[in-house]
Amino acid sequence: MCNWLHMHRVAYYRAAMALEHAILVSLAERSASGYELARRFDASIGHFWKASHQQIYKVLGRMEADKLVESHLVAQDGRPDKKVYAITGEGRDELAAFTTTPTGPEVLRSDLAVKLRALPFGDRDAIVATVRQRRADHLATLAGYEASAARYYPDPSAVPAEQLGAWLVLSGGMRAERGGIEWCEEILQALVPQAPGEETR
């Protein structure tokens, strides 16, 4: 029972709705409640696609109306009931179709870049502090990724086929963090020239 609006949306906006597809991937791997999905987005997928629980519930509702997922209530003891969502056949079709659509160039939005360009008009020390913070964030995120990598992919040259995609994503995440760290260090070198040893924190 697709109404016109639904068809319109699927036809024209598919490329822009990656949150739906991220949820479909997550549910294709394992069924989950909205709450569990939100925590997965905090933990693994969320490193590459953030989503609040409110947004997830909203999208899940729409996806259920679109028959991409279906839910059933599960009673629990010691905790509130939960609504477990599972991907449908239509959802799997949509996910497969998504992989065949071309992806436009990534949109990157860098607050830090704007601040750097504002260097002549702003507070140099504050910007340096921001860069140090950013560097620390990248280091912490990288450490988390490396722990995941060591745990789940101890031998990167022999990743099982069904985990290859997830491994490549994690590897890309580590690359991005390392690149971010190097950029921060280049910036600090340029803005705070001093003995390299002092730049450890």
Partner DNA sequence: GATGCATGTGCAACCAGTTGCACATGCATC
Partner DNA sequence: GATGCATGTGCAACTGGTTGCACATGCATC
Structure tokens at 182: 């190097």
* Minimum CB distance to DNA, residue 159 (Å): 28
Nearer to a second copy, 82 or 171 (CB): 171
Nearer to a second copy, 84 or 176 (CB): 176
What proportions of the chain, in percent to the nearest 5, are helix, strand and coil? Answer: 70, 5, 25
* Minimum CB distance to a second copy, residue 161 (Å): 8
Neighbouring residues of 20: CB distance < 8 A, sequence distance ≥ 6:
59, 63, 68, 94
Neighbouring residues of 32: CB distance < 8 A, sequence distance ≥ 6:
26, 40, 84, 85
Residues that bind a second copy (CB under 8 A): 15, 18, 21-22, 24-25, 28, 45, 48-50, 92, 95-96, 98-100, 102-123, 126-127, 129-130, 133-134, 137, 141, 161-162, 164-166, 168-169, 171-173, 175-176, 178-179, 182-183, 186-187, 190-191
3-state SS, residue 84: strand
Nearer to DNA, 57 or 167 (CB): 57
Amino acid in the structure at residue 127:
I
Could you tell which of DNA, a second copy, none binds residue 80, using a CB distance below 5 to 8 A set by kind?
DNA
Residues that bind DNA (CB under 7 A): 5, 8-9, 12-13, 16-19, 33-36, 39, 50-55, 57-61, 76-83, 107, 109
* Minimum CB distance to DNA, residue 88 (Å): 17
- Half-sphere exposure (CA, 13 Å, Cβ side) for 192? 19
Q: Phi, psi (5° rounding) for residue 69?
A: -135, 165
Neighbouring residues of 15: CB distance < 8 A, sequence distance ≥ 6:
101, 102, 103, 104
Q: Are 87 and 98 in contact (CB under 8 A)?
A: no
Nearer to a second copy, 28 or 82 (CB): 28
Could you tell which of DNA, a second copy, none binds residue 183, using a CB distance below 5 to 8 A set by kind?
a second copy
* Minimum CB distance to DNA, residue 104 (Å): 9
* Minimum CB distance to DNA, residue 200 (Å): 32
